[in-house]
Structure 1
Amino acid sequence: MSIRRLPEHLVNRIAAGEVVERPASALKEIVENALDAGAGRIAIRLTAGGIGGIEVIDDGCGMSPADMALALERHATSKLPDDAIEAVSTLGFRGEALPSIASVATLTLESRVRGADGWSRVTDNGRLASEGPAALPPGTRVKVEGLFARVPARAKFLRSPRAEYAACLDVVRRLAMARPDIGFTVEHDGRRALSVQPGETGPARVAALTDRALVDNSIAISHEREGVVLEGVAGLPTFNRGVADHQYLFVNGRPVKDRLLVGAVRGAYQDMLARDRHPVVALFVTLPGSEVDVNVHPAKTEVRFRDPGLVRGLIVGGLRHALDQAGHRSAQPVAAGSLGAWRQESHSPSGEGLGPSPQSNYRGASWTSPTPYPSPEGEGLSGLQHSVFDSPLAYAPPQGRAEPATAPIPAAQHPLGVARGQVAATYIVAEAADGLVLVDQHAAHERLVLERMRRALDGGAVARQALLLPEVVELDEPACDRLEARIPELAEMGLELERFGPQAMLVRATPALLGQGDPKGLVTDLADELAAFDQALSLKERLDHVAATMACHGSVRAGRILSVAEMNALLREMEVTPHSGQCNHGRPTWVKLGHGDIEKLFGRK
């Protein structure tokens, strides 16, 4: 077959396939043009998720009739005054958006320059249908109708109107976050769906477009390294989502979905979130135009950095530093459903509504109160690793425990209050100045052990405790191979392993921080962690995963009875330990019930 020149209409459709994938793609290009035109307010109207129609109205500089005709030609743009494409600062600059959209839809372009008359051009699937005067205020109005109506091969790949509407709304959110100085409104099928006013601060605009609760459950980011600036907001690890749709990333004011940036965010939160949870962040990276290439994707959603290691390190380091400053903070919303689960029990002389009697759940055991075991290292938290709390009562009724009589500690002296008791041998009840604090003792201690292990690693090596009799752990051969390859790294963390045949590992020592744990369970879990993450992570990230797994095995388990002194020691260490507001899996370690919430439960408020 001989080489031929493609006809103009086919060239336009090929370009449309690169730029216009769905209504959200067309909307993105049109709104970016409005932003580059200097608009102060942008109004968007959608019909049937954008499939039925898209209309964008702005109050920008507008276009003359001659410019409008040129704007509908391919590779015609006003955004590149010279050939320095590497220095481009506008959002749209390829000159393909409008002609590509016009080749697969009916495009009505109306515009007016201040001090002149308005003009209109209607293009129907690549052909000029009509043009003439138009009455409109200064600015531009773009209307897209019948997208892919004459291209059934493309139309059949469109999703439902609801799904297309969600994609359009996400596009507008990202552009509105990048430009808090501009007002945006979105109407869908005649209903106002989004409205933000110009002049909002960055964090306020992000919260308005995502979740109002983000204001109280986030931290500000401001970091700079070698001319690269990182700003934005990052949600606390406990303020997370099940999908990564709430991660908004920007480079020089341009919304992007770059794998490098997404991976950096995941790396910063890696030991604070479960694998199926994702943080809420809005990060703005600013750097010289010569250090980034924005012309690597037709839709301009990807970028290429000259020094990707610097950018990744900046994001990971900046997020880590900000999260360290958050200390023991945790997302603390008191859900209305949780409060509604409380119910007032009626008090009757017969005892109905008071729950079962002690005799119904207690059969034949002694009523002697269990004696709390003392901590061999005094009343500090370090004794938790060596205490043995095995209560002989499986179904004992509620009981009090005798404690030495001392003057009560004022709750206002400590952010997490002072311990008043323990519920279900799992949760610590503490009284703070502004409410009631409930602490998950296992989750909290798991985080504390991990942070101690990290400090020990930074100081050299983790102290180890030799086993009196080495433990043999049987695994499959690939798992043993993975562990054997990491024996030097594990030794730095206090775990001494040795290959013991094709399908077994010998445990000779465990980290002293973990006390008397379960070596077999620890080694088995480590083998699984290495299988999942070994190839994808750096040495530092692998060590963090290993440390988190060890910390889980070495922390105070639910079901262990603690003395009041041990509870208070746990609370005090939480207050001075970074990230203690969440465990290594992203779950909160403590929640607070404020005085106002308690008063609501009792009908006082």
Structure 2
Amino acid sequence: MCFLRHDRFKLVQKIKKLSEHSINRIAAGEVIERPASAVKELVENSIDAGANQIEVIFSEGGKSLLKVVDDGIGIARMDLSLAIQRHATSKITDLNLDDIKTLGFRGEALPSMGAAGSLSITSRVEGSESAFNIRVDAGVVSDIKPAALSKGTIVELTRLFHATPARLKFLRTDRSEARAITDMVRSLALAAPEVGFTLIEQYPEGGQRKVFSLEPHPDTGKLPTNERLNRLLDKGFAENSFMVNYQIEEAEIVGFCSLPTFTKGISNSQFLFVNGRPVKDRLLQGALRGAYVDHLAKNKYPLVVLYLTYPADLVDVNVHPTKAEVRFRNPGLIRALIVKSIHEGLQREGHRSAPAISSQLLGKARPGLDNYRQGQVTTENRTISVQGDDSVSDGMNKLDEFPPWLENALPSITSSLVESENDYRYPLGAAIVQFHKKFIVSQTPNGIIVVDQHAAHERLVYEKLKKQFVEKRSETKRLLVPEIIEFATSEVELIIEIKDELAQLGLVVEEFGQGAICVREIPSLLGNPDVKSLLQDILEGLIEGNSTNIVEQKINEVISRMSCHGSIRAGRTLTIPEMNELLREMEKTPHSGQCNHGRPTYIEMKLADIERLFGRT
């Protein structure tokens, strides 16, 4: 049936106040979006309660069971009935709404869960003669009863959304919801590195799987141990990352960021915390992209764990129902803090490349070693039987005596190596050979390094051009006819707010009447760009929190293209002195461990690993 506008008004006779039950069901849809949201609220309560150990158990993606067990201070019997009422909380008062220091504070989570499913809370405070339990099923509250529990709190949520079937049918598959729960607990385990965490998945048919278990580390402060980082992000993260520690005014940031050559194709390993609170904030994520802008290939994401500390009265954490977003009094300062801290870390790492790349190479080489140990080596044309470490039964004698052709070759090889021996002490060693006119092999005291000559030189040229641009940044091209571009009034205001920053990058704009921008100068390096498209990209960046990063990104893209054409091409033969000169320049140039597109410029293989490949250890 279709109602006309005046028909709808006839149906609504007067304004009515909804029942408490309906209010809770509506609130439940905002606070508890999916099972992972409930896990977040319950675990944050446990952390706020001072728990040392937290156990999370779920089944069928959290739809049939969510259970959180902690050893925190517990809830007193007289407070249990209050705990399930909306906006009842022990964490804030009317006097400190602007100074929130706990993860939870609204007092909405537990009543929302009780309205959306079947909720059971069992808790015991220190000194109490017994634990007590209260249950809420689809908003119906039971009496408080004695229960068995030695310490802490157990919250069990079953049949989530059975009271709101419309929400239930929009949940994803059990496996997708299970991944969301795992990601949520990973984030919270990094937010509270001093707390032990155990995550268990129970199967409906019986049995269970321990997803992970982390020991508490009360002495680590606010930074997680390398073991926890490797367990929750990637087993090679600690080895392939650098530490960040930076401060601007009252804002401070510490944490770990992966090297540009150690990345993922998805962004699920980027963990950002503000005053200990896990957040997914566009400003922070935009700043993170800006910090890595000319270091990563497209569609690649760094792995990061960053802890931002900022005065509580300068952060608004009450802007999103799930508290996943925050607002800063000075967003420009926060963005600068993230970008500068990561830039400083990347600068400090110099030419370092991710060791994981070498490990991947060794992993691909090991199958041949397995064949060797089984007694045969397969070549392109035939299989050779192996008899021990020093001989092969292919009509050849033991290699104690060199064949004549090898004896003749040895003197020239040896002499060239001896001449370069002093160069081995350099970080990237001494060049010994070029192969396929693409790659350089250098020798170090404890292994070898293989360098991609084009990628390495491309980065060197890129950094040189970028430095020249910074030194001559004031060079702009004045447009013979200023370009007038019309925008919405609100968009014009956004651009004018950052016109000083744009001018520093060589883009001179001013307001032209109402609803228009006048562009008078552009960076000379950009040539003849589509100015309207450039400003449109800047506007989109402002909305995403990138601001002037768009202009800088465009400039970097031009410099990148110039450096690609101006670098040593694959296929060019290099002399040993030329190779060594390239290596020395790489050692002096920041970020030379990866090219402009995020690919590694070199890989290192340790002598011990090479010997292991040949069965020598």
The two structures share one fold, judged by TM-score above 0.5: yes
1:419 partner SS: strand
1:202-217 mapped onto 2 (5 Å cutoff) = 202-204=224-226, 205-217=228-240
Rounded Cα–Cα distance in structure 2 between residues aligned with 1:166 and 1:406: 56
Which residue does 1:198 correspond to in 2? 216
- Aligned partner (choices 13, 28, 42) of residue 30 of structure 1: 42
Asked if residue 220 in structure 1 is aligned to residue 243 in structure 2, the reply is: yes
Rounded Cα–Cα distance in structure 1 between residues aligned with 2:330 and 2:214: 36
Asked if residue 276 in structure 1 is aligned to residue 299 in structure 2, the reply is: yes
Which residue does 2:169 correspond to in 1? 156
Asked if residue 297 in structure 1 is aligned to residue 320 in structure 2, the reply is: yes
Rounded Cα–Cα distance in structure 2 between residues aligned with 1:3 and 1:487: 57
CA contact (8 A) 1:256 1:301 kept: yes
Once the two structures are TM-superposed, the CA of residue 332 in structure 1 deviates from its matched residue by 1.9
Rounded Cα–Cα distance in structure 2 between residues aligned with 1:12 and 1:413: 70
Amino acid at match of 2:187: R
2:461 partner SS: helix
Cα distance, 1:88–1:243 mapped onto 2, change above 3 Å: same
Of 133-142 and 82-91, more deviation after overlay is shown by: 82-91
Cα distance, 1:187–1:82 mapped onto 2, change above 3 Å: same
Measured against aligned partners, the alpha-carbon deviations of 1:392-438 in whole angstroms (never above 9, x if no partner) come to: xxxxxxxx99x999822335311111111111111111111111111
Asked if residue 325 in structure 1 is aligned to residue 342 in structure 2, the reply is: no
Rounded Cα–Cα distance in structure 1 between residues aligned with 2:418 and 2:314: 64
Cα distance, 1:170–1:550 mapped onto 2, change above 3 Å: same
Amino acid at match of 2:121: L
1:572 partner SS: helix
1:234 partner SS: strand
Once the two structures are TM-superposed, the CA of residue 98 in structure 1 deviates from its matched residue by 0.1
Rounded Cα–Cα distance in structure 2 between residues aligned with 1:570 and 1:104: 65
- Aligned partner (choices 580, 601, 605) of residue 613 of structure 2: 601
Measured against aligned partners, the alpha-carbon deviations of 1:205-255 in whole angstroms (never above 9, x if no partner) come to: 333321131111111110000110011001100010101111100000000
Which residue does 1:340 correspond to in 2? 366
CA contact (8 A) 1:203 1:232 kept: no
2:199 partner SS: strand
Asked if residue 102 in structure 1 is aligned to residue 111 in structure 2, the reply is: no
Rounded Cα–Cα distance in structure 2 between residues aligned with 1:407 and 1:4: 93
Which residue does 2:425 correspond to in 1? 413
Rounded Cα–Cα distance in structure 1 between residues aligned with 2:287 and 2:354: 22
Asked if residue 559 in structure 1 is aligned to residue 571 in structure 2, the reply is: yes
Measured against aligned partners, the alpha-carbon deviations of 1:100-149 in whole angstroms (never above 9, x if no partner) come to: 00101110100001111110011111102453100101211000000012
CA contact (8 A) 2:54 2:197 kept: yes
Rounded Cα–Cα distance in structure 2 between residues aligned with 1:597 and 1:207: 22
Once the two structures are TM-superposed, the CA of residue 9 in structure 1 deviates from its matched residue by 1.2
1:338-487 mapped onto 2 (5 Å cutoff) = 338-340=364-366, 342=368, 407-460=419-472
Which residue does 1:187 correspond to in 2? 200
Which residue does 1:583 correspond to in 2? 595
Rounded Cα–Cα distance in structure 2 between residues aligned with 1:249 and 1:268: 14
Which residue does 2:496 correspond to in 1? none
1:245 partner SS: coil
CA contact (8 A) 1:107 1:142 kept: yes
CA contact (8 A) 1:123 1:130 kept: no
Which residue does 1:18 correspond to in 2? 30
RMSD: 3.0
CA contact (8 A) 1:62 1:113 kept: yes
Which residue does 1:573 correspond to in 2? 585
Which residue does 2:54 correspond to in 1? 42
Cα distance, 1:593–1:533 mapped onto 2, change above 3 Å: farther
Once the two structures are TM-superposed, the CA of residue 544 in structure 1 deviates from its matched residue by 2.1
Name the % identity. 44
2:175 partner SS: helix
Cα distance, 1:601–1:81 mapped onto 2, change above 3 Å: same
Asked if residue 125 in structure 1 is aligned to residue 125 in structure 2, the reply is: no
Amino acid at match of 1:176: A
Cα distance, 1:183–1:564 mapped onto 2, change above 3 Å: same
Measured against aligned partners, the alpha-carbon deviations of 1:251-271 in whole angstroms (never above 9, x if no partner) come to: 000000000000000000000
Cα distance, 1:4–1:534 mapped onto 2, change above 3 Å: closer
1:212 partner SS: coil
CA contact (8 A) 1:411 1:433 kept: no
Cα distance, 1:404–1:126 mapped onto 2, change above 3 Å: closer
Instruction: Give the aligned length.
Output: 511
Rounded Cα–Cα distance in structure 2 between residues aligned with 1:575 and 1:165: 46
Measured against aligned partners, the alpha-carbon deviations of 1:367-415 in whole angstroms (never above 9, x if no partner) come to: xxxxxxxxxxxxxxxxxxxxxxxxxxxxxxxxx99x9998223353111
1:37-116 mapped onto 2 (5 Å cutoff) = 37-116=49-128
Cα distance, 1:323–1:295 mapped onto 2, change above 3 Å: same
- Aligned partner (choices 236, 239, 258) of residue 281 of structure 2: 258
Once the two structures are TM-superposed, the CA of residue 166 in structure 1 deviates from its matched residue by 0.8
Once the two structures are TM-superposed, the CA of residue 488 in structure 1 deviates from its matched residue by 6.2
Rounded Cα–Cα distance in structure 1 between residues aligned with 2:576 and 2:470: 32
Rounded Cα–Cα distance in structure 1 between residues aligned with 2:303 and 2:200: 26
Cα distance, 1:103–1:462 mapped onto 2, change above 3 Å: closer
Measured against aligned partners, the alpha-carbon deviations of 1:48-106 in whole angstroms (never above 9, x if no partner) come to: 22112011111111111220100000110001134321101011101100000010111
Of 94-103 and 82-91, more deviation after overlay is shown by: 82-91
Q: TM-score, normalised by structure 1?
A: 0.79
Cα distance, 1:87–1:347 mapped onto 2, change above 3 Å: closer
Which residue does 1:249 correspond to in 2? 272
1:168-183 mapped onto 2 (5 Å cutoff) = 168-183=181-196
- Aligned partner (choices 259, 262, 279) of residue 236 of structure 1: 259
CA contact (8 A) 2:368 2:377 kept: no
2:442 partner SS: strand
CA contact (8 A) 1:203 1:233 kept: no
CA contact (8 A) 2:420 2:430 kept: no
Rounded Cα–Cα distance in structure 2 between residues aligned with 1:53 and 1:108: 11
Rounded Cα–Cα distance in structure 1 between residues aligned with 2:521 and 2:354: 38
Rounded Cα–Cα distance in structure 2 between residues aligned with 1:203 and 1:542: 39
Rounded Cα–Cα distance in structure 1 between residues aligned with 2:417 and 2:136: 87
Amino acid at match of 1:435: G
1:518-557 mapped onto 2 (5 Å cutoff) = 536=541, 537-557=549-569
Rounded Cα–Cα distance in structure 1 between residues aligned with 2:421 and 2:351: 21
Once the two structures are TM-superposed, the CA of residue 276 in structure 1 deviates from its matched residue by 0.6
Asked if residue 135 in structure 1 is aligned to residue 148 in structure 2, the reply is: yes
